[in-house]
Amino acid sequence: GVDKEGEHTKWIDLVQRAVRSMKEQGLMSKVVLARALEMPSSGQRRLSLGGTMKELRDRFNDCHVFLVKPPGRPAFLGATPERLVSLSGSRLTTTALAGTRPRGATSAEDAKLAKDLLSASKDREEHLLVVQEIESVLNPLSSRVAIPSTPVVRQLRNVQHLETPISADLHPDFAGDLLEILGRLHPTPALGGSPRELALDWIQGNEGWDRGWYAAPLGWVDQDGDGEFIVGIRSALVSNHTSWLFSGCGIVSESIPESEWEETNAKLKAIADALRYDV
């Protein structure tokens, strides 16, 4: 069983501490906080890994579905909407994905939520921090960085996000060096926060658990240095006895703890439903 009451109290306290730190010290502008929900792998719900992957693919055909299964270790799997970086020769593409609303029950409610997302200062600020950080990383590596001036709304099964597609033409020195670029980009403020080091230190000192593979870069690179990496969010670590479901959200000084709790629940539900868990 899940101690929802205790979980909820801990989360509200964590978000309040983050907001207070941003307002009082003014050093950190965003921090991404995450939850790990432990669930017993109860017999009647168990799907084979193959069955789970099919379920994820059917439900989230607009996401990257992934599975990492080292021998004798738990499986790390999920369906992520977020591509970290794709490289083909000197052409790099990436995405800023930050700012969230649930999907509506009706098309009218859905459209209203999307409109609200586009016009909400808190979400636009959170999104812009990610765009600016990616731009500042890519500028010195590129002859050209193309960024649309306004984000679009990307609708997924459970939630909708602000999304800005970003592309760059890399200088010859960096073309084909995907791992170098990956090291500079990850974690973006969509996963860690801003400024990066401050946010990561704050997470380590306050979140209270080791993220492990959660939000890690996963992907491939070929002999030419081309490849593609995603980030392992909307994910779970699944063993024979227990599963851990992961979900996070970006906190800025305007964040309302209860709204952020709801957002993490909507994201958790996506992976929980696919794993046949009732959360």
Which of 102, 91, 71 is closest to 143 using CA atoms? 91
Looking at domain 4-274, its CATH architecture is 4-Layer Sandwich (3.60)
Entry field: residues in the chain: 279
> 49-76: string of b/e by CB count within 10 Å (b at 16+)?
eeebbebbeebbeebbbbebeeeeebbb
Which of 145, 81, 114, 127 is closest to 254 using CA atoms? 127
**Banded model confidence at residue 236, pLDDT cuts 50, 70, 90:** very high
From 5, 38, 54, 82, the catalytic residue? 82
Question: What is residue 176's predicted lDDT score, i.e. its pLDDT?
Answer: 85
Report whether 101 contacts 126 (CB < 8 A): no
Which of 60, 11, 52, 56 is closest to 264 using CA atoms? 11
Per-residue pLDDT tens for 145-164? 999 999 999 999 889 999 99
Average pLDDT on 105-121 reads 97
Question: What is residue 276's predicted lDDT score, i.e. its pLDDT?
Answer: 85
Q: What span, in angstroms and rounded, lies between the C-alpha atoms of 82 and 222? A: 21
Distances (CA, A) of 4 to 24, 83, 108, 224: 30, 31, 32, 49
Question: What is residue 44's predicted lDDT score, i.e. its pLDDT?
Answer: 41
**Banded model confidence at residue 250, pLDDT cuts 50, 70, 90:** very high
Sign of CA dihedral 256, 258, 262, 268: positive
Token pair of 191, please?
């996963």
Active site residue 30: yes
Average pLDDT on 205-223 reads 96
Q: Above 70 in pLDDT, residue 240?
A: yes
Q: Above 70 in pLDDT, residue 42?
A: no
From 4, 30, 262, 263, the catalytic residue? 30
Average pLDDT on 251-261 reads 95
Q: What is the mean pLDDT of the chain?
A: 93
Q: What span, in angstroms and rounded, lies between the C-alpha atoms of 152 and 130? A: 14
Which of 16, 4, 3, 6 is closest to 258 using CA atoms? 16
Average pLDDT on 191-213 reads 96
Q: What one-character-per-residue DSSP string does 96-140 give? A: EEEEEEEPPSSHHHHHHHHHHHHH-HHHHHHHHHHHHHHHHHHGG
pTM of the model: 0.91
Q: What percent of the chain has pLDDT over 90?
A: 86
Question: What is residue 2's predicted lDDT score, i.e. its pLDDT?
Answer: 57
List the domain boundaries for the chain: 4-274
Q: What span, in angstroms and rounded, lies between the C-alpha atoms of 264 and 8? A: 11
Average pLDDT on 66-93 reads 96
The conformational region for residue 72 under phi > 0 = left, psi -120 to 50 = alpha, else beta, is: left
Active site residue 23: no
Question: What is residue 3's predicted lDDT score, i.e. its pLDDT?
Answer: 72
Question: What is residue 277's predicted lDDT score, i.e. its pLDDT?
Answer: 86
Average pLDDT on 177-200 reads 94
Sign of CA dihedral 258, 260, 266, 269: negative
